[in-house]
Structure 1
Amino acid sequence: MQKTVLERIERLTEDVVSLVLRGDEGPLAPWEPGAHIDLELPNWLTRQYSLCGDPADLSAYRIAVRHDPLSRGGSEYVHLFLRPGRTLSVSLPRNHFPLRPAPEYLFVAGGIGITPIVPMLRAAVASGAAVTLAYAGRSRPFAEELVATYGDRVRLGRPDLAALAAEFPAAEVYCCGPASMVTEAEAVFPRVHTERFEPTRRTFGPDTAFEVVCARSGGTIAVPADESLLDALNHAGRAVPSACREGVCGSCEVAVLAGEPEHRDDIGAPDGRMYPCVSRALSPRLVLDV
């Protein structure tokens, strides 16, 4: 973890604030557009936020937090109780939503989904690519800043995604926002990179028991049908870092050495990896590098 000091809080909209977290022990870890961090809050909660500042400035990270009316304690604490001067721990940046080189980009964002898009937009324009942003939502943080900087490259209002697909057939498409927008984008665009803030509702077969062999620490752990793999590892003393417990942040990634995992995450686990907070096993036994 990295130590930071909350330098300032800026209200962007009625329900969104921006936080600037300055490194407390020198430069912070480097990052690229699309990356996010885990923020440890003083009320013992850990939440994930996309970095929306300038990757060239490692003296501080910038994030934005929307006050969710159904908050489980994270956004509510940030909006009501967090004050400048507080020391906060943040993780090293992780990036499951990287910006790929392309001659043309179409960015589609909804509400707070703009946060990973802001540095992507800056990098894409700097690369000389053709760039368009379609930005929807009742609350649109950064909207004025983006229009002032990028002019008619920015389109505000609810987009017609089918029309955009026809208008930009060759563009590399990046979408982040409400689940309904992301689902529609995945159905409309032939090629689209997406990031979700909440898990997709999907149906899997019944949970069954399986075994996990811990290749590095030794021993075999029984994972019952009514317990997650993450909890079974933690209860057996093989602590695995975790944050969201919903398969969207990637903080609990472990290496699979043998066996067939059942991937239930929304990240798209790379070969030989899995996220034990939600994923289970299709084979009777997994061998993990823990």
Structure 2
Amino acid sequence: MSNQTTMTEFLLLSFSDAQELQILHFVVFLGIFLAALKGNLLIITTIALDHHLHTPMYFFLMNLSMIDLGFISITVPKSMANSLLNSRLISYSGCIDQVFLFIFFAAVDLGFLTIMAYDHYVAICKPLHYESLMNRRACIEMAASALISGIFCSALHTGNIFALTFCGGNMVDQFFCEIPQLFKLTCSDSYLNEVGVIVFFACLNISCFVLIIVSYVQIFTTVLKIPSEWGWHKAISTCLPHLIVVFLFVCTGTFAYVKPPSICLSGLDIVVGVLYSVVPPVMNPIIYSLGNKEIKGALRKLTR
């Protein structure tokens, strides 16, 4: 039998070995985290306190903001703490927690983005049936299905990765515990596990992305038939920002998981990791509040 040591901790990738650059990284990530915290909390508070916003669209938007808060809180605070303390350590149990929660929030986030695309489709293409299709029970069932799917995906892949044996070192080439990077450290026959993870995430992302694209194709087809410039502008301002967020989140996330683990591109991996784990939670409140007159009006009432 070969000698094996029990893995107790991992070393995350630092952005720089220079103390000054580590402080700069801490300051930048702190600003990003505070912006996401402030923006999402404002949306949650505004929607919760203004009864005019108690509609399906804003119900899903409030849930998306709560998911975004959890999503960014999984990776950024730990990375900031490591930079401030000049450390790279994360415990084995901490890495398990991070993987579980990261996959959960990512899957639920994608689910709510898909649900919101369907909500926009019903509101624009089938306005007369909106109240019957998007009733209270239907909204709760869709939200619950996204949460349950997230728990299932998270439990499946966390158990899958940590059932393997790690003996290829403990240095993770990412600023958080990312599954493709953890696969590089395994000495088990992880080929089937890698294929399973890649196929699952690719199918999940592609299926949700296709549903979103189909919804917006239907929306734009319907809007083009309306000779109203205001209706066209309203549809574009509502749907285009949503598409930008979805495209950024899905494409960068798919690239991170579909790219073969044997290809080592540390700099590119960090950029891609930031794009799909840090940027969307910051962009969502900006996009959905700046282009929405009802949200801005409710915010003005709240500040008064």
TM-score, normalising length: structure 1: 0.24
Of Structure 1 and Structure 2, the greater helix share is in 2
Which of the pair is proportionally richer in strand? 1
Larger of the two Rg values belongs to structure: 2
TM-score by length of 2: 0.23
